[in-house]
Amino acid sequence: MANTKDVTLSSIYSDLNRFGQNQEYEKALKAANKILQQRSDELKAFHCKIVCLIQLSRFQDALKAIVKEPKLSLDLVFEKAYCQYRLNQPQEALKTLDLVLTLSLKLKELKAQILYRLERFVSLINILMPTVIALIDLTMYEECFDVYRDIIKNSNDDYEEERETNLSAVIANMCHDDPFVDTRWSSEYNMLSRLHAVRKAVGAELANSENNIEVLTAVEWKQAAGIVEVLGPLADATKEISGDSYPTSSMVIPILHCLKSHLNVFITSKKDGVMFARSLDKALKSRFSFYDSDPIFCPSMLCDPRFRGVLIDDMVAVNTLAIEVKKLSDKSSLEPNNRDVPQLREHTYELSYNSACQLVGRGQYGEAERKLKATEKLCRDSIEEEDEGDIEDELGIIKVQLAYCLHMQGREKEAQLIYTAALKQKPDDIGLVAIASNNIIAINRDQNVFDSKKKIKSATLEGLEHKLTSRQRKNIAVNHCLLALYTNQADQCQQLCVRLIQQYPDMGAEATLIRAVQLAKDGKSRDAAVVLDKFAAQNPEHQMKMRLAAVQLLLSEGDRKESCRILQNLSEATFKPGIVSALVTLYLADGNSDAASKVLKDAVDWYRKNKVSTGDLSTMWRQAADFHLRSGEPAVAAKSLEELLRINPGDKKTLAQLVLAYAQIDPAKAQILSKQLPPLDLSQTIDVEALELSNWMMKSKVAKKAAAKVEPSPGSKPGTPGDELIQKKKSKRKRKGKLPKNCDLNSTPDPERWLPRHERTGYRRKKDRRNKDIGKGTQGTTTGTSDQFDITKMPSQQTKPSPNPNSPVPDVSGPRQQQRKIQQKKKKKSGKW
């Protein structure tokens, strides 16, 4: 009997093997189930069953079978994790793989794909655990990148091109410059500082949680506090050099110098987090080993007066360092700390496309455009034997990316045509449709809102969270809020903004600004200013942007007083040149010159005390000095002028103004400074008396006449000096009017010469118009009656001589100048019966 079962199992296994080789997975599944019915503990048959379910895309059934039979599935870690990954459970799949101590090649590949889906390009996990902190390499290893690089190095099979394609996709995402994501130092600092600020609430919540989450100990909280203290200056340095404060190449060495000094002080203090600080110091040394002798950064610092005196006081040291820098620049430049990136080929259109995506991430849109056009040609050549529809489907993502490059270069019309053409192909990829639709919405802005309403439905479909990255989903959510704003859907706009903050807390600033604009459009500018001010109080990193937006809204309402109050409460940002200028302008508009003077005075004192420079401040110093000189405050003006001289020592105009200012408060110092002014060089050939006699304020002709001494006549009266310069206005001789050529002075002119022809006495109408009035008029009227109303037949009026010859004679107007008398309207009678 046993032999019969063995023979049956052997034949079924034979069928199972044949079905598997022929890729007949339905029949293979039935064969595996037959084996398991006879022997439920057959590991090989159970494994074949799971593989068949996976090949049939029945991932849920495969996962249930694995969970149901834990003993048979001990070695099926890959199959379980793969099913979880395909069921859009990447976190669970990663946990499954983390249970394996030593990963095989296929497990590494699956883990890399899961990390890519989770966007774990930069890993900051377990930062609060003290056992891991000591082992962390603060170069912030990129997990997904490292896994793929290790796979490529240690594999040799037929899937090399696929692995290179995946690695190039990882690099493209790492290179992408995301405007909404902070840099690693600032984001880590913001996360930990906020977490530490609410540590009591977090501890209480974790203690009351039903999920049995381990509460952080007091030692771990101290470690977190130490890390926050270490990362604070790094976050400040990131903000300083990020572009908000006019970054220059001369700032690199001073910033790194300050960071190293801060770390050295912290390490010697032996506070919590010393291990973290040491690792960070080591990482900085490895990344910027030659920063103090770089041929670009070092000369830039030496040429910048802001930092030359701060770091290097000895001019001999400056010259020595300059010589050394020249030697280094002749030998080699600063060696960048590049990661060990494998040289990837571009012989397939997938690799070429990912290479173009790297260029897009770096902002090199022109280069990316050329690369994508070459990729499109390479793709057509690679699949030219396919149907035209399949070719267009494969080219869809390349064309949309090309349109994005054109879009970012400002060629919106060309981009919109490509987006529209891609959507007309009706691609099956909902992610591609969502991206193209979203970009068309961005081009439309507040125009063509009906088309945008249709497109936003395609960009917000369910299931896109598994197709798009978090950055793409954020952009779509923001555009959804803006579309509601453009279409004046106030309630929907507010709801979408609240949802945006809940889903993506780092987008709170954008959502708050959109909410404020919507309130302002509804005529609630003050409510909008309150919303902005509240958000600024809760998020100091966005204080400047929010407060300035609130000021703009208040000024639109004419509330200058409240605007000044907000600008005065920006802490150190109040002394920025732009803020100072706005405050002075607003105070002067209200007629409060004392407050304007105080603002400038405080700004001058703050900059002199803190030695902080945010770009060229010469304009601010100049305006402050002129303002205080006009307002009679020479002491304050002298401080501004001294700062101007420090920036530009050779400015003689500023030196002269400083002498004038000190002449009013400290004559002795003014005398000393005046010696630095250039001497007045007068030529020996100049006649001083002639210069005094010449009046340069008058015209040249008058001055020449005044130069000639004219003796007054004996009978003339003595006048004031300069009377001889006063010229009488010459009277111009009137010219006689010209008479016409045929004018006869002896004949009397025709009295009717100025009248129109039809009003003259001898005027005769044309024949067809002579009898036009015959037969017209009311019945019984005579021609005499109509003549008295004909203006052409009225007798000429003769004026009677006035008895008083001195009385004015009234003007007799011609027939066209006579005005018709306005006939008064008759009063209506009361409507009585």
For every residue of 418-486, which 3-state class applies, written as one string? HHHHHHHCCCCCHHHHHHHHHHHHHHHCCCCHHHHHHHHHHHCCCCHHHCCCHHHHHHHHHHHHHHHHH
pTM for the whole structure: 0.54
**pLDDT confidence of residue 172:** 60
Contact predicate 600/585, CB 8 Å: no
**Which domains does the chain show, CATH number per domain?**
1-101 (1.25.40.10), 345-428 (1.25.40), 593-677 (1.25.40)
Q: How far apart are CA 110 and CA 402, in angstroms?
A: 30
Angle made by CA atoms 636, 642, 644, in degrees to the nearest 5: 110
Calpha distance 191→383 (Å, rounded): 48
Question: What would you measure as the largest C-alpha separation in the chain, in angstroms?
Answer: 165
- Angle among Cα 57, 61, 65 to the nearest 5 degrees reads 130
Rounded CA separation 695/685 (Å): 20
Give the Cα separation of 513 and 553 in Å (integer): 11
Q: Quick one: pLDDT at residue 760? A: 87
Long-range contacts of 536-540 (CB under 8 A, 24+ apart): 539/508, 539/509
As a whole number of angstroms, the distance between CA 109 and CA 103 comes to 9
Phi, psi dihedral angles at 100 (to 5 degrees): -90, 130
For residue 241, give the amino acid letter: I
Going by C-alpha positions, the residue among 237, 337, 250 that lies closest to residue 288 is 337
The runs of H, that is alpha helices, within 576-715 are 577-589, 593-610, 618-630, 634-647, 652-665, 667-674, 688-693, 700-707
Please count the other Cβ atoms lying within 10 Å of the Cβ belonging to residue 808.
Answer: 7
Q: For residue 203, give the 3-state DSSP assignment.
A: helix
Segment 408-436, tens digit of pLDDT: 999 999 999 999 999 998 988 899 999 99
Residues in the chain: 833
- Per the CB < 8 A criterion, the answer to whether 670 and 655 are in contact is no
Report, as ranges of residue numbers, the positions in the chain whose pLDDT lies below 50: 1, 121-141, 177-183, 244, 310-318, 320-321, 324-326, 328-342, 614, 703, 709, 715-716, 720, 722, 724-725, 798-819, 821, 832-833
Q: What is the pLDDT of residue 361?
A: 81
Residue whose token pair is 């399949």: 390
Residue labelled with tokens 């001589």: 801
- What's the N-to-C CA distance of the chain in angstroms? 131
Angle at CA 551, nearest 5°, toward 485 and 486? 10
Closest C-alpha among 405, 399, 406 to residue 420? 399
The pLDDT value recorded for residue 514 is 93
Give pLDDT tens digits for 224-259: 788 878 788 777 777 666 554 556 767 777 777 777
**Residue 543's CB: how many other CB atoms inside 10 A?**
18
Report, in angstroms and rounded to the nearest whole number, the Rg of the chain calculated over CA atoms.
46
3-state per-residue secondary structure call for 133-146: HCCCCCCCCCHHHH
Of the candidates 402, 325, 390, the one whose C-alpha atom is nearest the C-alpha of residue 365 is 402
Q: Give CA 234 to chain center in angstroms.
A: 24
C-alpha triplet 485, 488, 494: angle, nearest 5°: 55
Report which of 561, 547, 552 is spatially closest to residue 525, judged by C-alpha positions.
552
Please tell me the distance from the alpha carbon of residue 652 to that of residue 46, in angstroms, as a whole number.
Answer: 93
Cα gap 434→461, rounded to integer Å: 8
